[in-house]
Structure 1
Amino acid sequence: MSAAPVAVFDGHNDVLLRLYTEGGEAGIAAFLAGTTAGHIDLKRARAGGLAGGLFAIFPPSPSSAAFMAAMTGEAYDLPLPEPLTLAEGEASTFAMAAILFRLERASAGALAVCRSVEEIRAAMARGALAAVMHIEGAEAIGPDLDALDVLHAAGLRSLGPVWSRPNRFGHGVPMRFPSSPDTGPGLTQAGRDLVRAANRLGILIDLSHITEQGFWDVAALSDAPLVATHSNVHAIAPVSRNLTDRQLDAIRERRGVVGLNFATAFLRPDGRMIADTGLDVMRRHLDALLERLGEGGVALGSDFDGAVVPEALADAAHLPALFGHLGAHGYGEALIARIARENWLDLLARTWKA
């Protein structure tokens, strides 16, 4: 009998966006029964050891679906999408939140929306997929922040104030290679208010898409660990989305975590979003993150269903290939367990409030 796969808690997936674009109810049924679409469904998650993660709600821009095709070249500088209106942000955000709760109801206990680390561990122990609500781009939240309290009560536990576009709270980095993450302004006054409110509620603040100035603005305001749920090492892949050594040092000082992004454009030194990318490139980023952050600061943030990933990790069922590769190159079982899930669960326990 083969060994059970390593249990994984993943820092970022976009399966809710995929189900939203597939039409909601049809996508839910396919997710539960099994499908060949995208990277994640219930069967492939179980096969690969994907036991839980942050399920992103991303209010899409009309142009966002075309980004990956434009990122296959030797260099690119994609214009920032236009800001969404509050109504546009609300419509897609609440539709995806509804999909998450409908998934939970339809799954007969196979998927659980979790609001605490205790709930995550309990779900994983009984074999349920532990889903935590995350928002990537806070366009559904108005300047009065009333929606933040409502969303938190519903289960929101992680929030990226911006995606790669401007909104009322701040500025996101463009998809640009080669580029520094220092691409423009940071938080607005409304963004500062949002950070303080997220701290009050114990909501994780995700820095993966914000400008470098925004990163430092959050660092100066927040009393929580600094976190990038799905970002990589700028010194290896000089894409605007990746983190500089100085940012990584700040994350370590604040006992934060970085989740390795599987998106190949953010892994490859040439910045190309193509599947022909080896696991050795991922290991190079992990090695660098471990050196900079220590063993307690490194995790996974796959970006499954939101990006082109390496061929060897074609979907969630293939996650064991990564751990086999790491084990063959000197990563011990204890370190693999920390990267796969324990560092995220420790970070969430230190960030969330009852």
Structure 2
Amino acid sequence: MTIPFFDGHNDTLLRLLDDPRRNKVDLFTNGMAEAQIDLPRAREAGMAGGFFAMFPPPLKTNLNAVAASPTTSGGQLPPELDIAEAQRSTNAMAALMFRLENAGALAVCRTEAELRAAISAGKLAAIYHHEGAEAIDTDFYALEVLYAAGFRSLGITWSRANAFGTGVPFKHNADPDIGPGLSDAGKELVRVCDRMGIMIDLSHLNAAGFRDVAAISTKPLVATHSNVFAICPSTRNLTDWQLAAIRESRGVVGLNYATGFLRPDGKMEPDMEIELMVRHVDALVEALGEDGVALGSDFDGAVMPAPIKDVTGVPKLLQALLDKGYGETLVRKIALENWLGLVGRTMG
């Protein structure tokens, strides 16, 4: 039995962009062994779609060189990124996404109805997401252009500061309550996104910024790729009060597969069992209810558990949930339906 699933976060577009080979569309559509997602493996695994992130480091910068290990970084934030450079790399990734759409490899979707239609047609359904708002100006001119192009989901920060807020540094055995809240521009960005139907992703935002979003936004609170702080005490994970706020808002958390945010020791090493992922799902279901838990792999942006490895390993996680006693109805909600419902509550 193949259970279709929707992924809350991947960095596949950056992985493609960084590849030195020229024909990126062919790499994705024909198979790319170096990546964790490509079209043949996505279809094999039952991947129905996902949030495709535009993460703007400087061009040609490998993610592993940018995101220090939470056990070794010392909690230092990477330097801020210039808006021109952010727009340059973000536009390149967005162009690649639309080239993939033109080639029939995926469909960029803007509403729940479009997602369901694409999935029913057997197309890989993509939501256009920015991981960090560095490419957006404080007058929001760029935001209007991006929205017209299909942009529907925004993480205000990656784990660095920008004009709108401050992200959490990568640090283990540390509380995410580090640094200041949103700037005035950041607070206005939340209001504008609410009005436009752009989902706000809290996964890399610090605790003060989280509180600001919760106080301002009228939409569900969302963390597309985060785990449970009580199991893995990383700044990137969610504490009890954050989980309670997400539940109260009818929000969703996507389970992050990155080993550094799953393992209690915070090590970015692949030698761990799927059972630890199930422990995080158990805790998320307890904290959020059956409608609040989904998947958010971080494929092509992190070290994966050895049993998972890439997108073809996701059915193993879903089977582990079934084996644990999760009914098929609940597993299908976690795998797909909870993301689709959340999109309906935030984007329309």
TM-score > 0.5, shorter chain as reference: yes
Name the structure 1 match of 2:92: 95
The residue type paired with residue 84 of structure 1 is L
User: What are structure 1's unaligned runs of at least 5 residues?
Assistant: none
In the alignment, is residue 66 of structure 1 matched against residue 77 of structure 2? no
Name the structure 1 match of 2:54: 57
The residue type paired with residue 71 of structure 1 is S
Q: Matches of residues 77-92 of structure 1 in structure 2 within 5 Å?
A: 77-92=74-89
Name the structure 1 match of 2:29: 32
Name the structure 1 match of 2:280: 285
Cα distance, 1:63 vs structure 2 = 8.0
In the alignment, is residue 275 of structure 1 matched against residue 270 of structure 2? yes
Query: What is the CA–CA distance in structure 2 between the aligned matches of 1:351 and 1:24, rounded to whole Å?
Result: 37
Cα distance, 1:81 vs structure 2 = 1.1
**Relative to structure 2, which stretch is displaced further, 228-237 or 57-66?**
57-66
| Cα deviations by residue, 1:287-343 (Å, 9 ceiling, x for unpaired) | 000001000000000000110011111111121111111111101100000000100
Name the structure 2 match of 1:257: 252
Name the structure 1 match of 2:115: 120
**Relative to structure 2, which stretch is displaced further, 96-105 or 118-127?**
118-127
Instruction: Indicate how the Cα distance of structure 1 residues 25 and 152 shifts in structure 2: closer, same or farther if over 3 A, else same.
Output: farther
Cα distance, 1:25 vs structure 2 = 4.3
Name the structure 1 match of 2:133: 138
Aligned length: 346
User: What are structure 2's unaligned runs of at least 5 residues?
Assistant: none
Instruction: Indicate how the Cα distance of structure 1 residues 125 and 236 shifts in structure 2: closer, same or farther if over 3 A, else same.
Output: same
The residue type paired with residue 293 of structure 1 is L
After TM superposition, the score normalised by the length of structure 1 is: 0.95
Instruction: Indicate how the Cα distance of structure 1 residues 115 and 251 shifts in structure 2: closer, same or farther if over 3 A, else same.
Output: same
The residue type paired with residue 291 of structure 1 is E
Query: What is the CA–CA distance in structure 1 between the aligned matches of 2:155 and 2:215, rounded to whole Å?
Result: 17
Query: What is the CA–CA distance in structure 2 between the aligned matches of 1:92 and 1:227, rounded to whole Å?
Result: 25
Q: Is contact 1:263-1:302 (8 Å) kept?
A: yes
Q: Is contact 1:186-1:210 (8 Å) kept?
A: no
The residue type paired with residue 66 of structure 1 is A
Query: What is the CA–CA distance in structure 2 between the aligned matches of 1:235 and 1:133, rounded to whole Å?
Result: 31
Name the structure 1 match of 2:8: 11
Q: Matches of residues 163-312 of structure 1 in structure 2 within 5 Å?
A: 163-312=158-307
Cα distance, 1:65 vs structure 2 = 2.7
Q: Is contact 2:175-2:233 (8 Å) kept?
A: yes
SS in 2 for 1:45: helix
Query: What is the CA–CA distance in structure 2 between the aligned matches of 1:57 and 1:226, rounded to whole Å?
Result: 20
Cα distance, 1:160 vs structure 2 = 0.3
The residue type paired with residue 260 of structure 1 is L
Instruction: Indicate how the Cα distance of structure 1 residues 265 and 222 shifts in structure 2: closer, same or farther if over 3 A, else same.
Output: same
Query: What is the CA–CA distance in structure 2 between the aligned matches of 1:26 and 1:270, rounded to whole Å?
Result: 40
Query: What is the CA–CA distance in structure 2 between the aligned matches of 1:233 and 1:28, rounded to whole Å?
Result: 36
Identity %: 56
Query: What is the CA–CA distance in structure 1 between the aligned matches of 2:20 and 2:342, rounded to whole Å?
Result: 34
| Cα deviations by residue, 1:152-207 (Å, 9 ceiling, x for unpaired) | 11111100011000000000000011110011112001101111110010100000
Cα distance, 1:23 vs structure 2 = 4.6
SS in 2 for 1:169: coil
Query: What is the CA–CA distance in structure 1 between the aligned matches of 2:92 and 2:27, rounded to whole Å?
Result: 18
Q: Is contact 2:18-2:62 (8 Å) kept?
A: no
In the alignment, is residue 41 of structure 1 matched against residue 35 of structure 2? no
In the alignment, is residue 153 of structure 1 matched against residue 148 of structure 2? yes
| Cα deviations by residue, 1:115-160 (Å, 9 ceiling, x for unpaired) | 1111111111111100110000111111111111111111111000
SS in 2 for 1:299: strand
The residue type paired with residue 28 of structure 1 is V
Segments of 4+ in structure 1 off by > 6 A?
none
**Relative to structure 2, which stretch is displaced further, 340-349 or 310-319?**
310-319
Q: Is contact 2:70-2:171 (8 Å) kept?
A: no
Name the structure 2 match of 1:326: 321
The residue type paired with residue 316 of structure 1 is V
